[in-house]
Amino acid sequence: MRKLFFLSLMLFALSAVPTKAHKNAQQDTRTIRSGELWPDSDGQHINAHGGGILKFGDTYYWFGEHKSEHTSDALVGVMCYSSKDLLNWRNCGVALKVSDEPGSDIERGCILERPKVIYNKVTGQFCMWFHLELKGRGYDAARYGVAVAEKPEGPYRFLYSQRANAGTWPIEFGQRELSVVDTLQESNFKEAWTPAWHKAVGQGLILKRDFRSGQMSRDMTLYVDDDDKAYHIFSSEDNLTLHIAELTADYLHHTGRYTRMAPAGHNEAPAIFKHEGTYWMITSGCTGWEPNEARMFSASSIWGPWTQHPNPCVGPKAEKTFGGQSTFVLSLGNRYIFMADIWRPRHPIDARYIWLPIEFENGKPVIRWQDEWSPAIKENP
Ligand code: GAL
């Protein structure tokens, strides 16, 4: 009897001491290590690329592209992971599934990139927007897609996809700008990338080309401002100019009010946040899956004017965004996390994540490389 008592006491004591493996697993998820594998709660590398984060209640939801072993085409859809501390993530499954119906806009094998989700307080719906390319057409369609769900993790119902703001000029185009647009003819520019062509692109050469059919919509993000107005920010005009387009109150359509940002500046991968009344936008140049130098802009109104600043990255490979490309900035009260993707086009599922804190120096954001750090979430409101 006494023997049994001691045995059970020992077993109890042993169960309270974490085994080495268990301890290591706990330590592994106490820090963010950009560029390394990031296992979810099942031990699988997180598969949510070109992603963004929504906080709902006390939970963070990470949405991103599911990537496969050998292709970046969408064979599965948009994944969702949840976490309370931004370190330990649970796989909530496929939030938006690609369709098996031939001819569907989101048919399996389409390109579905950079999904972002925002919550609409009025309708109580979760609204997902993403960059969509129709199956078999490369990057020609240049559309945005919209889906909704009643719960953050989905399932999301696909609503529609299209090009942006057909038949509408940006808000800054008055009589003067429109009379210049009238004079622009694509046939006058046999050669692209000349100074004259650049100037014409800035004045609206490609905007005019796509005026009737709708503006191209590729790399994108969503932003909800303090007044609950939401905006869709996307690479348009052959990726030469970003557009910032206001959303309707239900966050499911454009209102038709939009502005062009950095015309002819060739920006992709927009990520935006607001700090003490200033909007900051981080973007990349356009070199496909290859990393390039991050760009940064600021404005006191989302409608601009936007001012360009030097690259905010500091540290090894800072001139190549540490080997990554921006996707999102997560705001935690007055702290911010810069999120980027290290693409692996030959083994897409193995793409890695860069998450780094944004610091402020002399009033400007700085993104300093850190091998390892912790966001130390203390549930900021
Ligand atoms: C990048 C873009 C990615 C993906 C890729 C395809 O420039 O940011 O989202 O579209 O090109 O080459």
Q: Are 306 and 298 in contact (CB under 8 A)?
A: yes
Does the C-beta of 105 come closer than 6 Å to ligand 1?
no
Order of strands across the sheet that contains 111-120: 111-120, 125-133, 143-149, 157-162
| pLDDT tens string 300-356 | 999 999 999 999 999 999 999 999 999 999 999 999 999 999 999 999 999 999 999
Atom nearest to 50 CA in ligand 1:
9
Give the separation between CA 297 and CA 193, rounded to whole angstroms.
Answer: 23
pLDDT at 84 over 70: yes
Cis ω before 305 (30° cut-off from 0): yes
Does the C-beta of 289 come closer than 6 Å to ligand 1?
yes
Q: Which amino acid is at 308?
A: Q
Closest of 257, 249, 246 to residue 222, by C-alpha: 246
Average per-residue pLDDT for the chain: 93
Closest of 122, 127, 181 to residue 159, by C-alpha: 127
CA of 136 to the centre of ligand 1 (A): 16
pLDDT average, residue stretch 53-71: 98
Q: Phi first, then psi: give them for residue 320, nearest 5 degrees.
A: -125, 30
Does the C-beta of 219 come closer than 6 Å to ligand 1?
yes
pLDDT at 376: 82
Distance of CA 318 to CAs 38, 246, 268, 292, 321, Å? 22, 33, 18, 9, 5
Does the C-beta of 114 come closer than 6 Å to ligand 1?
yes
Give the separation between CA 206 and CA 185, rounded to whole angstroms.
Answer: 10
Using alpha carbons only, how large is the chain's radius of gyration in Å?
23
pLDDT at 377: 74
CA of 288 to the centre of ligand 1 (A): 5
pLDDT at 378: 61
pLDDT at 16 over 90: no
- The more confidently predicted of residues 381 and 186 is 186
Confidence bin at 261 (pLDDT 50/70/90)? very high
CA of 2 to the centre of ligand 1 (A): 68
pLDDT at 52 over 80: yes
Distance of CA 220 to CAs 30, 137, 216, Å? 31, 19, 11
pTM above 0.75, yes or no: yes
Give the sign of the dihedral formed by CA 279, CA 314, CA 316, CA 81.
negative
Confidence bin at 26 (pLDDT 50/70/90)? very low
The residue whose CA has the least distance to atom 11 of ligand 1 is 288
Atom nearest to 287 CA in ligand 1:
7
Distance of CA 94 to CAs 65, 153, 323, 363, Å? 10, 8, 28, 40
| pLDDT tens string 147-179 | 999 999 999 999 999 999 999 999 999 999 999
The residue whose CA has the least distance to atom 6 of ligand 1 is 288
The residue whose CA has the least distance to atom 4 of ligand 1 is 288
Closest of 235, 172, 249 to residue 206, by C-alpha: 235
CA of 116 to the centre of ligand 1 (A): 15
| pLDDT tens string 228-249 | 999 999 999 999 999 999 999 9
| pLDDT tens string 103-113 | 999 999 999 99
CA of 343 to the centre of ligand 1 (A): 9
pLDDT at 271 over 80: yes
